[in-house]
Amino acid sequence: MRRMLAANLPSISPQENQEIMAITFATDIELSSIRKIEQAIGQKIPVAALPEELVIENETKPAVADKPAKVKNPAPEAGSAFHEKKASNAKTYNFSSGEKAKMNNKRKH
């Protein structure tokens, strides 16, 4: 399924002495996308090195400190609704479908 998105954006035209600059931060993984952009605009995008005084910090998220720990519901205590089955009601057999059909005088499909 193809979709087309259209938006009416105001066109900004630079004045004669005004220059427009766009900054793109890309890694080696994103180079193929940068090449496609260069082909689309018909210009080579100049590459500049990062300044030496730039400090890059890896921000890590606290693992569990933000979210409260999930508390599992304890097993309900045995009461009138929760009790063991009587021995006479306990299931002591496991019939196959063929044996069940024979007991009910039906054909097994």
Structural domain includes residue 75: no
Q: Which two tokens stand for residue 47?
A: 């590459």
Asked whether residue 68 is domain-assigned, the answer is: no
Provide the total of helices (H) and of strands (E) in the chain, helices listed first.
2, 0
Quick one: tokens of 59?
């921000």
34 is a domain residue: yes
Q: pLDDT tens digits, residue range 57-98?
A: 877 766 655 666 677 776 666 666 777 778 888 777 788 888
pLDDT band at 6 (very low <50, low <70, confident <90, very high): very low
Q: At 102, which helix (H) or strand (E)?
A: helix 97-103
**Residue 66, domain member (yes or no):** no
pTM of the model: 0.34
Lowest mean pLDDT among 16-20, 33-37, 46-50, 91-95: 16-20
Give the number of domains in the chain.
Answer: 1
The whole domain housing 37 covers 22-49
Looking at the chain, how many residues does it have?
Answer: 109
State the first-to-last Cα distance of the chain, in angstroms, to the nearest integer.
Answer: 44
